[in-house]
Amino acid sequence: MADPFTGAAMVTPSQIEEAVFQRIGSPQGESFESWRYNAPAAEGATIYPKSRRKMRMEAEFQQYQANQIKMQSALQAMELAREAEARQQRDQIFQFEEAKTRAEREGRVQDEAGLIIDAIRGDVDDQGKVIANPIRPEDPDAIERLNGLAKEFKYGVENKNAAGMFTQLYNDALKFREERMKDSEENERLASSLSIRTGEPFEKFGTYDEQGMFQPRMEGIIAGEQEVKAGEEAKQEERVIRTEERRAEAAAGVSEKKRKESDQREIQRNIRKATEDLRKVNDSLAGRKSLSDKQRASLTSARDALIDLQIERAALDDLVFENAEAYGAALREGRTFPTGTTIYIGRTPVKVK
């Protein structure tokens, strides 16, 4: 048998045994047990001197015993050598198999690393036709495709070069994904607000893609914003008309003080009712983790109704201004407002400091 690593001939146990027998002789020999006739027959019996023949036989027996011990030692050594040689052979086989397995694994790591790099860079056939698109960090599905590669080629990601490309691309893809998530959240809030304020279905203003990102429908967004703007302008116009009507009534000789007090009482009653309505809506929605479109629309409507009445009450004292420029113009005209007075700029209440 040859060594699997060096190729040299290996010594077998049978060859070791043959070499030992050639050196010390065969284990078979004459038995000398029968010449032990000189032992005393009883205690105190006479022991006769040994003859030369007997002495020679005892010497031969002693030599035989020494040879037996020597042979037993040699046989034990031979057995130990055989076991050691067998262990060495098994260890050499294990080393060979371990090296073979390690080489196969390293080959698989390299093969899968190549597949990962090819998938990242993309591939084309001999005619220039795209077989696989490259993975770009800005692609919406870049992270999902990279996760798929890591799951499919678990050995390949152990390669230093493949792992470096993979990690860098993955981190870049995360940055693009974070930016898209911010845009998605902003567009989602806008669509939700428009749905509540216009009463239109949420889906009219956008939908979600496969990655859960909100994709706005610009036609619906633009139309919703125009509708909200038109509604606010109509309300503002209505408030201006009501204010002008009251001023006209005062100019016609109607007692301004009585009319104002009457209007204030009426508006105050309506404010109390609107406040109670808003409280009931809040109570009905308390404890809910999320609201339906209808529930959000109901809550917004109740809040708007209360704000409209509060603005109407402030308009009686001419404390409502279309915008900040109109308020500034009033100040330049010499108007003053006591500290703590609530004025309205558009629909926003402001405390005078």
Amino acid 36: pLDDT: 40
Task: Report the alpha-carbon distance of residue 295 to residue 275 in Å, rounded.
Answer: 17
Are residues 163 and 195 located together in one domain of the fold? Answer: yes
Domain assignment present for residue 44? The answer is no
Helix (H, G, I), strand (E, B) or coil at 227: helix
10-residue averages of pLDDT along the chain (353 residues): 51 56 47 43 58 75 85 87 88 90 91 89 69 84 90 90 91 88 79 76 76 75 75 76 71 66 80 82 74 76 82 83 85 86 86 84
Contacts of residue 188, defined as CB under 8 A and 6 or more positions apart, other chains included, come to 206, 214
Task: Report the alpha-carbon distance of residue 231 to residue 243 in Å, rounded.
Answer: 18
Are residues 79 and 182 located together in one domain of the fold? Answer: no
Amino acid 33: pLDDT: 36
Domain assignment present for residue 290? The answer is no
Amino acid 21: pLDDT: 52
For Cα atoms 277, 281, 287, give the angle at the middle one, nearest 5 degrees.
150
Are residues 191 and 121 located together in one domain of the fold? Answer: no
Domain assignment present for residue 45? The answer is no
Domain endpoint, select from 107, 127, 147: 127
Domain endpoint, select from 93, 127, 161: 127
Are residues 94 and 152 located together in one domain of the fold? Answer: no
Domain assignment present for residue 210? The answer is yes
Domain assignment present for residue 208? The answer is yes
Are residues 348 and 233 located together in one domain of the fold? Answer: no
Domain endpoint, select from 69, 95, 127: 127
Are residues 2 and 108 located together in one domain of the fold? Answer: yes
Are residues 166 and 240 located together in one domain of the fold? Answer: yes
Type of residue found at 129: K
Amino acid 184: pLDDT: 77
Domain assignment present for residue 100? The answer is yes
Domain assignment present for residue 140? The answer is yes
Type of residue found at 118: D
Are residues 107 and 143 located together in one domain of the fold? Answer: no
Domain assignment present for residue 10? The answer is yes
List the alpha helices (DSSP H) in 252-341.
256-285, 293-316, 324-332
Residue ranges making up the domain that contains 342: 319-353
Are residues 116 and 3 located together in one domain of the fold? Answer: yes
* 193, two tokens: 């607000």
Q: What are phi and psi of 321, to 5 degrees?
A: -125, 140
Domains contained in the chain, number: 4
Are residues 213 and 237 located together in one domain of the fold? Answer: yes
Are residues 223 and 177 located together in one domain of the fold? Answer: yes
CA-closest candidate to residue 341, choices 331, 351, 333: 351
Give the H/E segment covering residue 112. Answer: helix 52-121
Q: How many Cβ atoms sit within 10 Å of the Cβ of residue 37?
A: 6
Are residues 70 and 4 located together in one domain of the fold? Answer: yes
Amino acid 252: pLDDT: 61
